Structure 1
């Protein structure tokens, strides 16, 4: 039987995908200009790989010259509760919805590979599978395919799925009929811009990653600047504010894939327990999770900031051992958290015990600020 688009749609849904669209124009000059502006403004921060691979991002054929079409797919990971409600529990840490269970890269890649193998068998075309790790600008590609549009927060929004979906792509040498691009339906709404705690959007459709809590808690390995610490609240891995507030989520539905449903133990993990994690316990707790890639030190740094924002002095006994942690980034935030929670007498006793033995300049600076 000859290959048909209806067969592709049916096979994609059988593999667990919630939407499937096709794009044929793989490169977009306007998107290339926006990427150059983003990089030129330094808004990529320490993500140097974005600049290193910019040519391939702008021109996908530079990555694979024979590619003619892209099959772009969506997998829904909608939460079953309001993510913003978790921010009120200051003694717990808030993990971004997408990271509350298994690593989505692994989940999507399996379905994509099976779909790609089927497609190659049916058409005789060559295929390559991508899930957010190669230099392929998947959000603009998905918008050209009609999967959704890039909202003012730069994330993709769908009239069918709202904000909560992952994107996977199959590039192919097959020349497929494309779907119509989706138009922008944001209108005058700017709820996503207004809610950002750290003012990471210098303008509509522009993001300064250096101010973004997702970047700061996941990608950035250094000492988080004081101006961002209090606005971070208890967000310890990622931030969902700009996604959660989008009005188009009224059309979203909860994830059907069990591995994308939130783990109970990660919905509201106690900061007191997270701060006690050593490297082995961290790796065990987050086995199979995207959080594991961040590493224990960066994660504990984030948890210490959340602890400092908790207003809960009962956390001081679990914070104090971290003042002598091997990682300077942990020690520095342990100083800041202690200063936020301790009374003057206790803070002075800590300073007298630790500051004289501290060799790292950044940690000493935190003590000096106390």
Structure 2
């Protein structure tokens, strides 16, 4: 089979497995992106994500990850929502969960399908390795080089056909396939994504400081969320779609067709009160097969407590009561901050004084002292 014929076979097989975007590039196509990554790491913009540093050279140069690779096949699966995800932000007593996490975990779905597509390479006598967001691979720059779209000013991939809503997967192969042309950056003077960010996480166009990003804070960051950023999270308890949803190219996007990725009714805008009551077993049951499960119950309930504090709904303060005794210090600390925003002033000071005397964790004690200082002011 000629390289062109093999590429056509891969494209057809990818379409049969539901992939709506396809392109090929070479392993040396993202050298510039690798340099930008190293610069961001030097500035500390990756926050606590040490795994970005650990294999930075592999990310910067795919040839270091697998020297035998001659081509990289990039595939995209549309997960366009059937609603505007920003509508959830208007329901302060309910939670906003990022669109990609409202259905089944895309990692499991896409990896299996990539292996099926890669079967065409094995049949033709070529080796292949598949990657879905869990290896040191820079999928977005590779996808741009393969013509699937371009990296917008928010650093995410933008597609003319699918807007912001593409899951990406990569197949590295020893086959030498004809590469596609890179897509042109079509952002122009638009800055809608930058202006939409609730935490000002973009120091400049095409640059992201993860330490201020809602997705990083609610998913990757394990400790207490910085106090100055908590009010900006609103009711976002897992990820954020604001910069994605703001992109004008979404006018061409269509609703995703893969039912396993479709939003479950229970995860569209669940009540914060119900989420605050989740124990570990309840958390695992509710988020079975969901990407949300990866952060664990404690980090998740920390986020819920902050959202309750941002709700302005004093009736939700009672949902925080049990969390003040939670075994997890990060849950207790977030709940202290939240209850200080909702509790009647007459009850806050004596409650804070009693709890401060009994608390042993330093971070939680600091939250109670801040609550007392707030009351005194």
Instruction: Check whether TM > 0.5.
Output: yes
Q: Which residue of 1 aligns with 2:62?
A: 60
Inter-partner Cα distance in structure 1 for 2:99 and 2:347: 37
What root-mean-square deviation, in Å, do the aligned CA atoms of Structure 1 and Structure 2 show?
A: 1.0
Confirm or deny that 1:308 pairs with 2:309.
yes
Single out whichever of 133-142 and 342-351 deviates more from structure 2: 342-351
2:101 corresponds to: 99
Structure 2 counterpart SS, 1:203:
coil
1:308-364 deviations in Å (ceiling 9; x for gaps): 011111111110111111111000011011001011112123213321110111111
TM-score (norm 1): 0.98
Q: Is the CA contact 1:146–1:179 (under 8 Å) kept in the aligned structure 2?
A: yes
How do 1:256-335 and structure 2 match up within 5 A?
A: 256-335=257-336
Structure 2 CA distance for aligned equivalents of residues 34 and 73 of structure 1: 23
**What residue in structure 1 maps to residue 374 of structure 2?**
none
Question: Quick one: distance in 2 between partners of 1:228 and 1:128?
Answer: 40
Per-residue deviation, 1:119 = 2.6
- Determine the C-alpha separation between the residues in 2 that align with 1:58 and 1:260: 30
Residues 154 and 206 in structure 1, CA contact (< 8 A), matched pair in contact too = yes
Match of 1:336 in 2: 337
Q: Which runs of 5+ in 2 are unaligned?
A: 372-377
C-alpha contact (below 8 Å) 1:151/1:186 kept by paired residues: yes
CA contact (8 A) 2:27 2:62 kept: no
1:218 and 2:180 aligned: no
Q: CA deviation at 1:131?
A: 0.3
Q: State the 1:96 CA deviation.
A: 0.2
User: CA offsets, 1:179-237, max 9 Å, x none?
Assistant: 00001000000010011110000000000000000000000001001111111000000
- The aligned residue for residue 149 of structure 2 is 148
In structure 1, the partner of 2:87 is 85
How far off its partner does 1:6 sit? 2.8
After superposition, give the CA deviation of every residue in 1:18-77 in whole Å (9 maximum; x if it has no partner): 111000243433112201110011000000111110111111111111000011000000
Kept in 1, the 8 Å contact 2:103–2:290? The answer is yes
User: 8 Å contact 2:313–2:342 — kept in the other structure?
Assistant: yes
The alpha carbon displacement at 1:7 in A equals: 2.5
Match of residue 117 from structure 1: 119
- Distance in 2, matches of 1:92 and 1:171, equals 42
Q: Distance in 2 between matches of 1:36 and 1:113?
A: 31
**CA offsets per residue over residues 254-289 of structure 1, 9 Å max, x none?**
010001100001111000000000111101111111
Q: Which runs of 5+ in 1 are unaligned?
A: none
Counterpart of 2:347 in structure 1 is 346
Instruction: Count how many residue pairs are aligned between Structure 1 and Structure 2.
Output: 369
Cα deviation, 1:111-137, whole Å, max 9, x if unaligned, reads 10111112321x211000000110011
Distance 1:235 1:246 in 2: 19
Counterpart of 2:229 in 1: which secondary structure?
helix
2:299 and 2:331 in contact (8 A); partners too: yes
Instruction: State the match for 2:7 in structure 1.
Output: 5
Partner of 1:255: 256
1:45 match: 47
| Residue in 2 that maps onto 1:208 | 209
3-state SS in 2 of match to 1:226: coil
- Equivalent residue runs for 1:158-197 within 5 Å: 158-197=159-198
The 1-side partners of 2:65 and 2:168 are apart by 19
Query: If the length of structure 2 is used for normalisation, what is the TM-score?
Result: 0.96
* Alpha-carbon distance in structure 2 between the residues aligned to 1:206 and 1:104: 26
Please state whether the residue corresponding to 2:199 is helix, strand or coil.
coil
Cα shift readout 1:123-177 (whole Å, capped 9, x = no counterpart): 2110000001100111111111011100000000000110001000000000000
1:26–1:68 Cα contact (<8 Å) kept: no
Preserved contact between residue 27 and residue 69 of structure 2 (Cα < 8 Å): no
Counterparts of 1:12 and 1:331 in 2: how far apart (Å)?
47
